[in-house]
Structure 1
Amino acid sequence: GASKLNTGVSSASTGASQLSSGLGSLQGQIPTLTSAISALDAGTNKLTNNSAALVSGANQLASGANQVASGSSQVTTGLTTLKGQVPTLVSAISALDAGTNKLVANSATLNSGASQVASGNEQMYTSIQSLVGQMQTLQDGLKTASDGTKTINTGVGSANSYLTGLKDSAAAKTYYVPKSTLKGKTYKSALKAYMSGNNHATKLTIVLNENPSSKSAMDKVTAIQKQATNSLKGTALDGATIAIGGQTSETNDTQAIASSDFVRTAAIMLVGILIALMVITRSVLQPFYILGTLLLAYIMSLSITRILSNWFLGQSMLTWNTPFFGFIMLIALGVDYSIFLMMKYREFDNSAATPSTRIVRASAVIGAVVLSAALILSGTFAALMPSGVLTLIQVAMVVIIGLIILVFAIPTIIPSLIRLTYPLTDRMEDETTAEKQTKRNRQ
């Protein structure tokens, strides 16, 4: 056993010598390792200079490398005592070398990331600068809004004061002007433009949104006149004179005057004709039948003339004097034809024929006269149409259409209406006895 122990001790001595030799070699390579670590530190410092984001980490890595370098001498000194820790140190150095290699391999990626970080920082700076300008604009807008709010607050206060004064004023439902406005220069200049020198008369300018010559515009003028008159009732201006001027008012006044003259003239004509017909026909009902027929023909001709004027002349309304002259012409001509009929009716008064037979015979005789006169007068009034004057054209149309209606109305409607004045037992007798002369009982 001693021999074996001696042999083992020799082997251990030999191994210790070899370990000592290896440690010596390792100690000789420690400066090289230190130099490599220094180079790594320099490269790390360059990488730190290229990336602001890696400065802190690179400094820490350099500090750690320096600590490793300074600790290498201590490791060399304590290698004899720390022989059992050499494999661990070797493994740590290998791991450090591998980590350094990985760091070097990833330096390009880190550099790209650092560039992206720098670019992002630049964009963020630009955005912050733009945001600063927008914040300034926002600040100016908020200042303007604050000033506007103050103005609105002032206006609301003025409106509140105005509404309070309007509520307490007697003119709350008509027209109210605050005292401050009444004493202002602007209102005084307006008063000079719309008030007389003694402030006893005022003028209001009204612009209608319609054709000034249309019927609806004239109706509005009449409505304004009534509204103004009604608004002054019960006030200090009750009974004041209200006058409306302008084109529409003048047209409306002309129409009112023409309508008044027409009604007055028509009434005088109808009453005079009625009395004359009562004398001629010696009847009370027959003149009403005749005038009724004439008025019906007049209304129909006037309506047809308005339709034709709208279709062919492009005029939806009749001129203001067309109804007046049309009435005079048509009634005068129609009365003449009716008188002719009734005079012929009276010529058969001494015959044995009944009234029905006599009126039919009178119509048969007078029909040719009426038709001839209507044709001649129609041609005469038709000569007015080429004149180009709208009133003459419409009056001619009223007369011509009215004559055409009377040609058929007088021989048919008047005999039918006269027939109603006699009992139903009055039948038309034989023509052979109708011509027999007899003296009629006039009781």
Structure 2
Amino acid sequence: MTKEERAEKWFRNIPNAETIDLETRMEICSKVAKKMVLVFFAVFALELVLLSLIVGDDLFNGLADFVNSLIGGSHSRGSRNVAVIVAAIVCAPLFALPLIVTLVFKKKAIASAVNRTLGITNKGETRGHGATDKGWERLNGWMETFYPDWDMVVDDTPIKGFTPKDVRQQLAALKPGSYESIRMWAHIPIRANDEYQFNHLTISPKKRVGYFRIEVFTSDIAHDNHVINYEKAKLSEREVMEVLQNVLNNNLAAELQSWKVAMSYLIEKSTDAENYKAIAKLLPDGDTLFAKVERCIDAPKQYYTDNAERYCEREMDENKRNCDIIWAAIANEMLDNGNAVEVDWDVTKQEFCLKMKGLADKYHLTLNEDWLDEEDEIETWCEILNKQWADWGLCVAKFTIVCGNFGYLYFIYERQDVEKLSDLCMEVNQCIDVAKEI
């Protein structure tokens, strides 16, 4: 029986199971199957202990003598088979109870796993689909409200305008414990309080099924360089929707009063210019790169004016922060020098290999398309290349661009130096790291 067939069979007649995808059902089956083995042997061992306490060792000695006499006294193969069958029948009652308990456990364990996946508690409150408690009833009239001035991104897929019902459907698709998230923001700035404005929020799943974490990112209105990130974790699906109701209806200030401040930092510090210069020098062809971006680091706004067309290609206007202007300049110069490639998230394997081969040739590295699977994603391909190139001490590094149109650059770098480069980037709230599957 295949895993798919087992999942179909085990979930038959389980309430609400039809709303769970096949992959999740197979994962539940694997976990329950391991527990079933433990339950069977635990009950069997307990049964033997109880029998030993009640009747002593005479029962087991007599049973062993009986089986030995059947097998030992049989000379032909057929007679021995008959003896084994008779012995199995005699011993069968010992296995009956553990088997019955295990089957009952399986049904209850799967039903419980379904409830956890859908967020149904033992008290009857449903935090997933099909909820009927008073909390959900209060939200029902609001769930169909359309918010055209809000956008969200789910797994790199942009959604322009949405209803709370759309958000709830996306929440159900987030896998527990994964790095998937929903990111949303408003077209019109929203004040978080008198000093700070809302930038965006993210919703990500916790390891425990049915629970989520929300992070709200704000920045100061006057100078736009001080960021405070708020966090609230262990929220049920309904609680997430209640938070969103406050946020979407422009009641963010009241919402954040009880939240934990996860991070507070300055986007631009007096030491940033020196850090950017150090980063440029550490990147491939560092001296050449530094010579081209030094002017931008020293005078970002003037550099933007002189290269406005290039920044427009990245959907960046003159109001962008200095740090964003500098980071985009470094990215553009790396691309122009042929030391990095920029690819979309939906790039094909052939396109990815064609671009990366140009970089690999510069370092005399082999890149074989057969190493990669067309169905995999960029991060998986990069991790495979990192393993193939490990003996040369080289890896694929990822340069993250969060300003303008969000994207990634990939370049080849010495593995031992990535951490130093990454630490410098963190000082200026930018990101370069080893490209790998999460």
* Structure 1 and Structure 2 fold alike (TM over 0.5): no
Higher percent of residues as helix: 1
Higher percent of residues as strand: 2
TM range (shorter): under 0.3
Q: Computing the radius of gyration over CA atoms, which structure comes out larger, 1 or 2?
A: 1
Larger RCO (alpha carbons 8 Å, 6+ apart) = 1
TM-score, structure 2 as length reference: 0.20
